[in-house]
């Protein structure tokens, strides 16, 4: 029979120092300002999700936004060094389409 001990990550892996549980979740404690905690509690109740799900979703969305910002930042850096050149025919087509649009 397989060992029932929690799996430990190897030195140098992400999350180093944490015991992985059988469920794949890690328990942690964080300190929040009282007002922020109350707002989060109210939002989780309103959404009818657990506190854990609320915080996991918030962290996940924050990390996605940070990663997205890094991609945009890198693209801006790459394209800031090149002049934008548009084929004159495409430019004319763009201008014509704007004139015909009712917005």
Does 98 map to a domain?
no
Q: Tell me, yes or no, whether 91 lies in a domain.
A: no
- 101 assigned to some structural domain: no
Would 102 be classed as within a structural domain? no
Task: Flag whether 61 is in a domain.
Answer: yes
47: domain range? 7-82
| Angle (deg, nearest 10), helices 51-79 and 34-47 | 100
**pLDDT tens string 41-59:** 999 999 999 999 999 999 9
If one counts the domains in the chain, the total is: 1
pLDDT (tens digit, 9 = 90+) per residue, 6-55?
Answer: 444 444 555 555 655 566 788 889 999 999 999 999 999 999 999 999 99
Residues 6+ apart with CB under 8 A from 92: none
Whether residue 1 lies inside any domain: the answer is no
Contacts by 29-33, CB closer than 8 A, 24 or more apart: none
Distance CA 90, CA 26 (A): 54
Q: Is the pLDDT of residue 2 over 60?
A: no
């Amino acid at each position: 029979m397989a060992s029932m001990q929690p799996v430990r990550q190897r030195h140098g892996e992400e999350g180093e120092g944490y015991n992985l549980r059988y469920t794949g979740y890690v328990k942690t404690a964080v300190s929040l300002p009282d007002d922020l905690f109350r707002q989060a509690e109210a939002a989780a109740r309103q959404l009818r999700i657990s506190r854990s799900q609320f915080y996991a979703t918030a962290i996940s969305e924050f990390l996605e936004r940070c990663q997205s910002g890094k991609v945009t930042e890198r693209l801006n850096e790459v394209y800031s060094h090149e002049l934008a050149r548009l084929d004159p025919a495409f430019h004319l087509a763009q201008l014509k389409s704007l004139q015909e649009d009712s917005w």
